[in-house]
Amino acid sequence: MSDGHNGASSPKGKLLLVGFGPGAEEHLTFRAKKAIQEAECIIGYRTYIDLVRPLITGKEIIQTGMTEEIERASHAVDLAYQGRSVALVSSGDVGIYGMAGLAFEVLSDRGWTGSEITVEVIPGVTALSACASVLGAPLMHDFASISLSDLLTPWDIIVRRLRAAAETDFVVALYNPKSSKRVRQIEEAREIFLQHRSPETPVGIVKSAMREGESIVISNLLDMLKHPIGMLTTILVGNSQTRIFAGKMVTPRGYHRKYDIHTGEKLQRKTLP
Residue 227 has a CB neighbour count (10 Å cut-off) of 15
Note whether 176 and 94 are within 8 A (CB): no
The domains found in the chain, sorted by start residue, are 14-125 (3.40.1010.10), 128-255 (3.30.950.10)
Question: Cα separation of 207 and 221, whole Å?
Answer: 18
- CA-CA-CA-CA torsion sign (100, 104, 107, 112): positive
Could you report the per-residue pLDDT of 93-110, keeping only the tens digit for each?
999 999 999 999 999 999
Question: Cα separation of 31 and 61, whole Å?
Answer: 20
The percent of residues in the chain predicted with pLDDT above 90, rounded, is 79
Question: Cα separation of 80 and 168, whole Å?
Answer: 44
Note whether 66 and 232 are within 8 A (CB): no
Question: Cα separation of 203 and 125, whole Å?
Answer: 21
Residue-level pLDDT at 54: 86
Residue-level pLDDT at 88: 98
Residue 59 has a CB neighbour count (10 Å cut-off) of 15
In the DSSP assignment, the letter for residue 147 is E
Residue-level pLDDT at 256: 59
In the DSSP assignment, the letter for residue 230 is -
Residue-level pLDDT at 56: 87
Question: Cα separation of 134 and 132, whole Å?
Answer: 6
Residue-level pLDDT at 238: 98
**Strand 202-207 to 215-220 pairing:** antiparallel
Residue-level pLDDT at 258: 60
**Strand 233-237 to 202-207 pairing:** antiparallel
Note whether 193 and 170 are within 8 A (CB): no
Q: What is the CA radius of gyration of the chain?
A: 22
Count CA within 13 A, CB hemisphere, residue 141. 18
Question: Cα separation of 259 and 31, whole Å?
Answer: 39
Residue-level pLDDT at 133: 97
Low-confidence ranges of the chain (pLDDT < 50): 1-8, 272
Note whether 18 and 91 are within 8 A (CB): no
Measured torsion, CA atoms of residues 134, 138, 144, 147, in degrees rounded to the nearest 10: -30
Question: Cα separation of 84 and 13, whole Å?
Answer: 5
Q: Tally helices (H) and strands (E) across the chain.
A: 8, 13
Question: Cα separation of 65 and 71, whole Å?
Answer: 10
Question: Cα separation of 197 and 183, whole Å?
Answer: 22
